[in-house]
């Protein structure tokens, strides 16, 4: 019995000794690592719960064991700009926030959940900071919140990770003019979505600032057409000049089409017709359809001629768009071309769109004075003008739908 107890005590003493040696080894390992990157050790606490503290300029680092064997938990306290403690950047797979921010860098936004003051977050997460955060997340579990960068990582990665942590801490701690940094990001970031995000933050939160005006002027010539388009749409009437440039430039069918749609009635009929002709000639059908839709929304008789021209297109979707627009603005003169299109393309969408347009014109003109348009109730559809003192205009009742003048009275 005594031998057993003695054996247990010896075993316990040995375990304690080994653990204590391990803790002392950890302290020395940490100290060597932090000193190798220029940090000054200010406290080293051995024992069952060892901890090491080190400082460098505006940062303080703490290291202690994590919950896993041969892993260390590192916390770097950063004296960042005002409200820095409200910024949170954490792995998407581990955390989800109610008010999550996307900064326009799709891979980064997919990797991290981001929250905090919009201006500060956009200013801080420039290209260099994003790159460091992504590299650190490969080494271990990363958490930036409450003014600290925290990581759990395997001990073998400590020496190669500490320099990255210090670089990140220095970037976050350096003096920051938020407005200027936003403008710099809007001009210089290599990711178009990030440039746009910074521009929109400036436009939304600092609309009257001279720095914002300067950034917006630069944004007008951004290399990305999409950035120019999204920016212009957010600028209201001031963005119409940019939208006109994009619509008329025809550098990208999707962008030009969206610019035409965004301009709507602010784009004169003559200019819309010109863009329509150029887009059709270059087979930019999305832009052409947007022009046809705009023409249909004008409510002006001047829109009818280019719509009738488009009704003769060899592209079915353009014919359909033209017919739909004529249903909104077409006059009596549009009915015969619509009837012909319906007969020529009886098996396609053009037929249905043309018939719908004729019905819409009829409905719109009901209640007019004598001489109004009406449709006969035959399968082919007939056009007639009500009887007047001078005569009548009608479509013959045969399947071909011939046009004839009624006999004049003696």
Quick: pLDDT tens for 123-144: 999 999 999 999 999 988 899 9
Contact between 316 and 350 under an 8 Å Cβ cutoff? The reply is: yes
Residue 240 to residue 235: CA distance in whole angstroms:
8
Quickly state the pLDDT bin for 6 (edges 50, 70, 90): very low
* Residue 70 placed within a domain: yes
Residue 387 predicted with pLDDT over 50: no
Contact between 93 and 148 under an 8 Å Cβ cutoff? The reply is: no
Domain stop point among 128, 160, 176: 176
At 221, list the tokens: 């010539």
Mean pLDDT across the chain: 84
Quickly state the pLDDT bin for 16 (edges 50, 70, 90): very low
CA 251: distance to chain centroid? 20
Q: How many CB atoms lie within 10 A of CB 363?
A: 10
Put the strands of the sheet holding 51-56 in their side by side order: 40-45, 51-56, 59-65, 71-78, 148-154, 141-145, 88-91, 112-115
Range 27-38 average pLDDT: 91
Kindly list the distances between the CA atom of residue 261 and the CA atoms of 115, 249, 256, 266, 271, in Å, as whole numbers in the listed order: 34, 15, 9, 10, 13
- Segment 241-281, tens digit of pLDDT: 999 999 999 999 999 999 999 999 999 999 999 999 999 99
* Residue 358 placed within a domain: no
* Residue 42 placed within a domain: yes
- Angle among Cα 349, 301, 283 to the nearest 5 degrees reads 45
Domain stop point among 176, 207, 232: 176
* Residue 69 placed within a domain: yes
Residue 187 to residue 276: CA distance in whole angstroms:
33
At 84, list the tokens: 């820095």
- Determine the straight-line distance between the first and last CA of the chain, rounded to whole angstroms: 143
Range 360-369 average pLDDT: 73
* Residue 104 placed within a domain: yes
Range 290-301 average pLDDT: 95
* Residue 36 placed within a domain: yes
* Residue 354 placed within a domain: no
Q: Residue 102: phi, psi to the nearest 5?
A: -115, 130
Total domain count, the chain:
2
Kindly list the distances between the CA atom of residue 345 and the CA atoms of 50, 272, 348, in Å, as whole numbers in the listed order: 84, 27, 6
At 160, list the tokens: 């190669």
Kindly list the distances between the CA atom of residue 62 and the CA atoms of 28, 52, 77, 151, in Å, as whole numbers in the listed order: 14, 6, 8, 11
* Residue 393 placed within a domain: yes
Greatest extent of the chain over all pairs of C-alpha atoms, in Å: 144
Range 97-108 average pLDDT: 84
What pLDDT score does 347 carry? 82
Domain stop point among 130, 160, 176: 176
**Residue 215, strand partner residues:** none
Closest Cα partner for 313 from 337, 333, 347, 296?
A: 337
Contact between 53 and 62 under an 8 Å Cβ cutoff? The reply is: yes
pTM: 0.78
Domain range for 24: 13-176
| 365 vs 104, residue with greater confidence | 104
Residue 289 to residue 298: CA distance in whole angstroms:
15
């Amino acid at each position: 019995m005594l031998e057993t107890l003695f054996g247990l005590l010896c075993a316990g003493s040995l375990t304690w000794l080994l653990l204590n040696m391990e803790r002392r080894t950890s302290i020395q390992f940490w100290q060597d690592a932090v000193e190798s990157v220029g940090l000054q050790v200010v406290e080293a606490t051995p024992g069952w719960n060892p901890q090491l503290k080190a400082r460098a300029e505006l940062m303080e680092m703490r290291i202690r064991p994590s919950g896993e064997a041969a892993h260390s938990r590192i916390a770097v306290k950063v004296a960042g700009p005002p409200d820095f403690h409200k910024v949170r950047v954490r792995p998407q797979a581990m955390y989800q926030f109610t008010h999550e921010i996307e900064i326009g860098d799709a891979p980064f936004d997919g990797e991290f959940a981001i929250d905090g003051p919009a201006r500060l977050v956009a200013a801080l997460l420039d290209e260099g900071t994003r790159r460091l955060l992504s590299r650190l997340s490969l080494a271990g579990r990363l958490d930036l919140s409450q003014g600290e960068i925290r990581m759990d990582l395997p001990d073998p990665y400590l020496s190669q990770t500490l320099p990255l942590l210090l670089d990140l801490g220095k970037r976050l701690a350096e003096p920051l003019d938020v407005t200027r940094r936003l403008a710099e990001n809007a001009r210089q970031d290599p990711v178009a979505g990030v440039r746009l995000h910074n521009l929109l933050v400036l436009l939304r939160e600092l609309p009257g600032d001279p720095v914002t005006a300067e950034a917006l002027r630069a944004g007008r010539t951004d290399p990305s057409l999409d950035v120019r388009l999204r920016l212009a749409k957010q600028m209201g009437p001031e963005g119409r000049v940019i939208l006109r440039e994009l619509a008329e430039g025809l550098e990208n069918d999707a962008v030009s089409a969206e610019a035409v749609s965004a301009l709507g009635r602010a784009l004169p009929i003559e200019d819309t017709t010109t863009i329509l002709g150029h887009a059709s000639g270059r087979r930019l059908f999305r832009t052409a359809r947007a022009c046809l839709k705009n023409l249909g929304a004008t409510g002006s008789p001047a829109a009818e001629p280019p719509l009738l021209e488009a009704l003769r297109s060899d592209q079915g979707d353009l014919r359909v768009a033209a017919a739909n627009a004529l249903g909104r603005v077409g006059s009596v003169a549009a009915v015969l071309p619509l009837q012909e299109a319906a007969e020529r393309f009886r098996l396609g969408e053009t037929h249905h769109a043309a018939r719908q347009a004729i019905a819409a014109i009829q409905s719109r003109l009901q209640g007019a004075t004598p001489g109004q348009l009406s449709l006969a109730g035959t399968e082919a559809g007939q056009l007639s003008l009500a009887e007047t003192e001078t005569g009548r205009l009608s479509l013959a009742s045969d399947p071909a739908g011939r046009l004839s003048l009624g006999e004049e009275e003696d």
